[in-house]
Chains A and B, each alone.
Chain A
Amino acid sequence: GQNIDQPTEMTATEGAIVQINCTYQTSGFNGLFWYQQHAGEAPTFLSYNVLDGLEEKGRFSSFLSRSKGYSYLLLKELQMKDSASYLCAVREGYSTLTFGKGTMLLVSP
C-alpha cells in the first residue's frame, strides 16, 4: 500500500519563505513530484526528485531523502499568486503517480 502525508493548510506572508513537507511510505519508489494547483484549475508540474538532495529552480526548490521517506518544497520570496494547493506525488512504478491530499497555502499581504 501507499501513504503520503502533507499538512492540510499553511499560511505565510508575502516575501517570506515557506517549507511544505511531505512524508511517504510506498511499496516502490521511482521519483517524487511536486505539483501546484490553483482553485478550479489543473495541476501544473513544479519539480521532481529521483536522487537524494536539493533541486533548485528559481524561487522553488525541492529536497528528497529516500532513506527517510521525506521531501519538502521550499518557496522563497512568496507572492500572492503562490496561494494554491501544493501536491506531493510519488511514482512507484514507471508510470502512474500516487498523490497526497495536498497542502493549501494561503499567502497574505
Chain B
Amino acid sequence: GAGVSQTPSNKVTEKGKYVELRCDPISGHTALYWYRQSLGQGPEFLIYFQGTGAADDSGLPNDRFFAVRPEGSVSTLKIQRTERGDSAVYLCASSLGEGFPPAKQYFGPGTRLTVT
C-alpha cells in the first residue's frame, strides 16, 4: 500500500509569510507525528495526534506553529510569520497508535522549507 506522503516536497518562502505543509498518513494509522530536522541533526519532535486531537504539542517551538487533523487522517502544519530559523526539513510520520509493544513509526519523505 501507499506510504506516508507529504506535499509540497520543497517550499521556498519569504520571511514573514505564512506556509502550510500537508501530510497524508498511511491508511488506518490513528497516530500522526510531526518532526523537524535541521542539517546534521536528528528529527526533533513537534506535535503528536491520536485521531483528531493533539495528544502532545509540547514540541511546538512557539505560537507561530499550529497543526490540525480535522478528520483524523490528513494533517496540516501551519507556520505563521516565518523566520529564517524555521528553515528545515519537516517530517511527518504515522503509526498504528499507542501502546505496547511500541508501534513502528513510518516516515514520509519530508518537506524542505527554506525561508529567505
Task: Please give the distance in Å from A97's CB to the nearest CB on chain B.
Answer: 7
Whole-angstrom CA separation of A87 from B35 in the bound complex: 14
Main secondary structure of the interface of B (DSSP, over half): loop
Chain B residues positioned under 8 Å from A97 (CB to CB)? 33, 43, 45, 105
Are B44 and A99 in contact (CB-based, < 8 A)? Answer: yes
A53 contacts B by Cβ under 8 Å: no
Question: Are A96 and B48 in contact (CB-based, < 8 A)?
Answer: yes
Q: Is B73 an interface residue when CB atoms closer than 8 A count as contact?
A: no
Q: Interface residues of A, CB < 8 Å — how many?
A: 25
Query: B residues engaging A (CB < 8 A)?
Result: 4, 31, 33, 35, 40-45, 48, 50, 55-56, 59, 91, 98-102, 104-110
Tell me the minimal C-beta distance from A1 to chain B in angstroms: 12
Q: How distant is A88 from chain B, measured CB to nearest CB, in Å?
A: 8
Question: 3 tightest CB-CB pairs across the interface, nearest first?
Answer: A99-B42, A42-B107, A94-B98
> Which residues of A approach B to under 8 Å, CB–CB?
4, 30-31, 33, 35, 41-45, 48, 50, 87, 89, 91, 93-102
8 cross-chain CB contacts under 8 A: A42-B4, A43-B43, A89-B42, A91-B102, A93-B56, A98-B45, A101-B40, A101-B42
Taking a contact as CB atoms closer than 8 A, the residue among A30, A98, A99 that contacts B102 in the complex is: A30
